[in-house]
Amino acid sequence: MRKEDKIRQEIFAKIADLYTLRKQTEEAFIPGVSPVPYAGRVYDEKEMISLVDASLDFWLTTGRYAAQFEKDLAAYIGTKFCLLTNSGSSANLLAVSALTSPKLGEKRLRAGDEVLTTACGFPTTLNPILQNNLVPVFVDVEKETWNIQADLIEDALSEKTKAIIVPHTLGNPADLNTITRIVRKYHLWFIEDNCDALGSTYRKKHTGAFGHISTCSFYPAHHITMGEGGAVLTSDPLLRKIIASYRDWGRDCWCEPGCDNSCKKRFDWKLGELPRGYDHKYIYSHIGYNLKVTDMQAAVGTEQLKKLPEFIQRRKENFNILFQGLKKYEDCLVLPRPTPHSDPSWFGFPILIRDDARFTRNEIVHYLEDHKVATRMLFGGNLTKQPAYADMISRSAGPLVNTDLVMNNLFWIGVYPGLKPEMCAYIVAAFDTFFSHYP
Ligand SMILES: Cc1ncc(COP(=O)(O)O)c(C=O)c1O
């Protein structure tokens, strides 16, 4: 063994010792005393070793781990390409920005074009539409799945509508049959915000493989984490090239960090009004960003990805415990239902309080929080009512009745793999005591 490898192995053994020590001193779960988080990182010594391995390389920027992760995630989802980026929000920004590229000719999105979406969800699904001077058109969501109401989409289209971007809400796939049919019929672009649905399937195919582009988030609350991180997936080589350009400063060159002359004509290009032979490394074909990820982040992700199938299974099991425990309260609560033909990799467990319930959302949320059960709103509720969007230019395709319901009456609780069965049982017990106060 090389001396350097031997030293690395010694360091890794120490890391494993540290992890074991932490595990041994972990506090046991005490119902009503220990917190029951809605999400969190689940990892072991392998992620810690991988992270240190990458840091010992001291490559720092995107490198071997990122390349490996991109290959593995694309293979898992079933797309040809995957590009890592530093967050799910950056992934959405890249996805929408890519569609404005002049390289797409007549198909490019231009300022003022419309993009269909929902107002029910996370702001950075919507923001890239506005950041690219496009006009969001809001379609209401359906009850129980809280996904875009697909049968309203066709009527919501106008001459100016060129694209659809929608999330798969809390892991439950949108009606991909209807959406992809409309996308084909009207020659629209389709972006799947798959940030909350990694591992979900629709008709046995992974979400994230239906859109022209799809996105992932690896923030700690998500199915797998890198701390901060995201990915953009596509099977279209031109889109891949454009996304990489926007991500990497807008450059025309596609050399990996540390490489030169991949195109074999680095000093032989004639582009724009630049002199022939201007160094391709410094030729820019887009007004881009730098949204790359570091190899330390990717190193954590490669180990997390190996755990994904087990994580998904545990999310499903936790979802089922909650569903079985809470279905007796369906006269007061609207519980989630999987979209037909789908098998969701649940991100969370949404609960809507019916209007005629004997209590309000705030009462039950406060009760749960007081009893250590973490709750979350469905992100921005109705984003059109958030202060940030007061001056936005947009259109709503009809009243956003269910989106308002989400804003007023819905919250969600966790199903993440860090929740042990006894924690899920405690959540159900907390509901039981709450309901005993409101017989
Ligand atoms: C649907 C959706 N899209 C995008 C994002 C943004 O991801 P990130 O936090 O990695 O920027 C989130 C964040 O939770 C999300 O839920």
Pocket around ligand 1 at a 6 A CB cut-off: 87-89, 92, 121-122, 124-125, 167, 193, 195-196, 217, 219, 230
Q: How far apart are CA 297 and CA 317, in angstroms?
A: 28
Residues 6+ apart with CB under 8 A from 432: none
User: Given 212, 222, 280, 371, which residue is catalytic?
Assistant: 222
What local confidence, expressed as pLDDT, does residue 420 receive?
96
Q: Which of 124, 148, 377, 383 to mutate to test the pocket of ligand 1 (most atoms within 8 A of CB)?
A: 124
What local confidence, expressed as pLDDT, does residue 197 receive?
98
CATH entry, 28-250+285-439, from 3.40.640.10, 3.40.710.10, 3.40.50.300, 3.30.470.10: 3.40.640.10
User: For residue 87, which atom of ligand 1 is closest to its CA?
Assistant: 10
What local confidence, expressed as pLDDT, does residue 8 receive?
98
User: For residue 167, which atom of ligand 1 is closest to its CA?
Assistant: 1
CA of 121 relative to ligand 1 center, distance in Å: 9
- In the chain (439 residues long), the average pLDDT of successive 10-residue segments reads 95 98 94 97 98 97 97 98 98 99 98 98 98 98 98 98 98 98 98 98 98 98 98 98 98 90 93 96 97 98 98 98 98 98 98 96 98 98 98 97 98 98 97 90
Q: Answer whether 202's CB lies under 8 Å from 342's CB.
A: yes
What local confidence, expressed as pLDDT, does residue 218 receive?
98
User: For residue 169, which atom of ligand 1 is closest to its CA?
Assistant: 1
User: For residue 90, which atom of ligand 1 is closest to its CA?
Assistant: 11
Residue written as tokens 């799809």? 214
CA of 222 relative to ligand 1 center, distance in Å: 8
CA of 190 relative to ligand 1 center, distance in Å: 18
CA of 90 relative to ligand 1 center, distance in Å: 9
341 is catalytic: no
User: For residue 92, which atom of ligand 1 is closest to its CA?
Assistant: 4
- The enclosing H or E element of 232 equals strand 230-234
Q: Which of 147, 196, 228, 383 to mutate to test the pocket of ligand 1 (most atoms within 8 A of CB)?
A: 196
- Collapsing DSSP to helix, strand or coil, 368 comes out as helix
CA of 217 relative to ligand 1 center, distance in Å: 6
What local confidence, expressed as pLDDT, does residue 314 receive?
98
What local confidence, expressed as pLDDT, does residue 257 receive?
85
Q: How far apart are CA 406 and CA 146, in angstroms?
A: 8
What local confidence, expressed as pLDDT, does residue 365 receive?
98
| Cα–Cα distances in angstroms (integers) from residue 214 to residues 49, 164, 192, in the given order | 30, 11, 5
- Reported in sequence order, the residue ranges of 279-365 that DSSP labels E, i.e. its strands, are 333-334, 342-343, 348-353
Q: Which of 93, 117, 122 to mutate to test the pocket of ligand 1 (most atoms within 8 A of CB)?
A: 122
What local confidence, expressed as pLDDT, does residue 438 receive?
78
The structure tokens listed for 304 are: 């997390």
Domain boundaries, the chain: 28-250+285-439, 259-283
Q: Answer whether 306's CB lies under 8 Å from 98's CB.
A: no
The structure tokens listed for 32 are: 């009503």
- Collapsing DSSP to helix, strand or coil, 13 comes out as helix
CA of 39 relative to ligand 1 center, distance in Å: 14
Residues above pLDDT 90, as percent of the chain: 97
